[in-house]
Structure 1
């Protein structure tokens, strides 16, 4: 007779739900949705042919059959985990997930990762490049533990302000600031820098045209070097061969400053909280070096 096998993931969800006192908290701890936890419980009830939980107030409590399975589940999971540990294949700690704009990939990122590695050797850090709106959404959704992102000055929203930076016009030496319409090199939509630059030009009555759009910061710098036009950016690490355009050039409006903010997940793990502290210190130091004019 072929016997059925109890689902290990479902058993782990069951035990976590009882130990955390809530299947919602268990879902968070296991990195699953509440609907996935509910499906696990239904699967166990189908496999055993028993009602395993009954509702009590707002929660669920084990039935007599549930208590019996719970005792077996704890032993099964303990044996499973011990076997994996003995064989050296136990699960590694979850990675710390960090998101950054491309502006900070050459200085803030390597220095922050080096400092973090000295405090937490062997911890896996997963780094993603992203746009501001996407980074903020991923932190809110729990898909990132920490991120740096740009925000309009004084805007409502998440995050701790690290610095307020001026936006300046940037182009190649001898660039086309006096051309009409003004040729622009910008990120594709959506982009805070693009939005701010176009709004400033429109308010100043300055005609403009899009000469080149790109999703890549290296691509943007390369287009500027070849004389495609101007862009609006911070002073942070303006590459060689490019310069800040005098704001008194004809028809170039002053642009409002932007904020750099540190975003972090709610109730971060100790290692993630440490990464936030390292990121804050590293970003403040590099921004002061490049953007203090």
Structure 2
């Protein structure tokens, strides 16, 4: 007689994925409202079901084994399908449109994931994406041309939207090159690759350098992030940005190594447009926050 198929427990798979996304099963226990011992039992159950060790010790933490990495991909797809089925049956079908604005930093990381998830859950909703600089996004919000926008906040304005994440500002240079290399002096004056004005990253860079008494010159100025990355990778100058979505040709520079001034962190906020509450917009905002929590890993607590 053929062996019965193994039915993976969705609840256990959700715990597994949450623990990996948060980087800690202790954090997953808090997030899911379970005790650490209950989480441990779930992980042992999952390993028994698949007959493989999924996690291994890595210093004081845990890391995925090769079977664990394989299962993680399947677990994400199973949970997406499960959530889509529940949403389709249990809630009224959403329709309408969502107009989203976001900085260029998130077009290759958070955006594809959230668009794919939302399309599977709510295929009747049309999503329009506007990728612009921060000043333009704020103007579009005020004009009523956007329903949602991710904007940078350097001032800590408590009333503006909802806080999504704190991301550090870092000096960025080429992965292999003279600028920022250990025990080599900075070029004088320091060449910079920056967006044109108005730009809060440009303002933060020049303010920090002026306060530290470091002379500078703008060697590259352009409106697009791809051009900025290319200029830095080519060694035209250093730039200032968050490390989120950094291409492999670049690296954050150690301020001590490169004799560069220290930098603060930057808040990322999700701001809603002037229109009233809309179910499709609210659902997209919720999913966007969840996705950013997984991709940024430097996340502010939910309000």
Range class of TM-score, shorter chain: 0.5 to 0.7
Query: Contact between 1:211 and 1:229, CA under 8 Å: does it hold in 2?
Result: yes
Corresponding residue to 2:213 among 195, 200, 205 = 205
How far did 1:156 drift?
A: 5.0
Output the CA distance in 2 between the equivalents of 1:181 and 1:197. 14
1:159 corresponding residue in structure 2: 161
Corresponding residue to 1:236 among 244, 251, 257 = 244
Spell out, residue by residue over 1:185-222, the C-alpha distance to the aligned partner (whole angstroms, 9 max, x if none): 01111111111011000011100000001100000011
**Higher mean Cα deviation, 256-265 or 131-140?**
131-140
How far did 1:250 drift?
A: 4.8
Alignment of 1:269-280 (within 5 A): 269-280=278-289
Query: Contact between 1:176 and 1:182, CA under 8 Å: does it hold in 2?
Result: no
Corresponding residue to 1:176 among 175, 179, 186 = 179
Query: Contact between 1:167 and 1:234, CA under 8 Å: does it hold in 2?
Result: yes
Query: Contact between 1:176 and 1:183, CA under 8 Å: does it hold in 2?
Result: no
Higher RCO (CA 8 Å, separation ≥ 6 residues): 2
How far did 1:260 drift?
A: 0.7
How far did 1:135 drift?
A: 1.2
Q: Give me the TM-score of the superposition, normalised by structure 1.
A: 0.64
Q: Give me the TM-score of the superposition, normalised by structure 2.
A: 0.62
Distance 1:285 1:250, change over 3 A: closer
Corresponding residue to 1:286 among 292, 295, 298 = 295
Output the CA distance in 1 between the equivalents of 2:158 and 2:222. 28
Output the CA distance in 1 between the equivalents of 2:293 and 2:135. 21
Alignment of 1:211-226 (within 5 A): 211-226=219-234
Query: Secondary structure at the residue paired with 2:269?
Result: strand
Q: How many residues matched?
A: 198
1:47 corresponding residue in structure 2: none
How far did 1:163 drift?
A: 0.8
Spell out, residue by residue over 1:233-286, the C-alpha distance to the aligned partner (whole angstroms, 9 max, x if none): 111121112111111035410112110111112523110111111111111210
Query: Contact between 2:109 and 2:295, CA under 8 Å: does it hold in 1?
Result: yes
How far did 1:175 drift?
A: 3.5
Residue 252 (str. 1) matches residue 254 (str. 2): no
Runs (4+) of structure 1 moved beyond 6 Å?
A: none
Residue 227 (str. 1) matches residue 235 (str. 2): yes
1:51 corresponding residue in structure 2: none
Alignment of 1:21-60 (within 5 A): none
Query: Contact between 1:96 and 1:126, CA under 8 Å: does it hold in 2?
Result: yes
1:131 corresponding residue in structure 2: 133
Larger Rg belongs to: 1
**Higher mean Cα deviation, 110-119 or 180-189?**
110-119
Query: Contact between 1:186 and 1:194, CA under 8 Å: does it hold in 2?
Result: yes
Output the CA distance in 2 between the equivalents of 1:134 and 1:186. 17
Corresponding residue to 1:268 among 262, 277, 281 = 277
Residue 188 (str. 1) matches residue 191 (str. 2): no
Query: Secondary structure at the residue paired with 2:255?
Result: coil
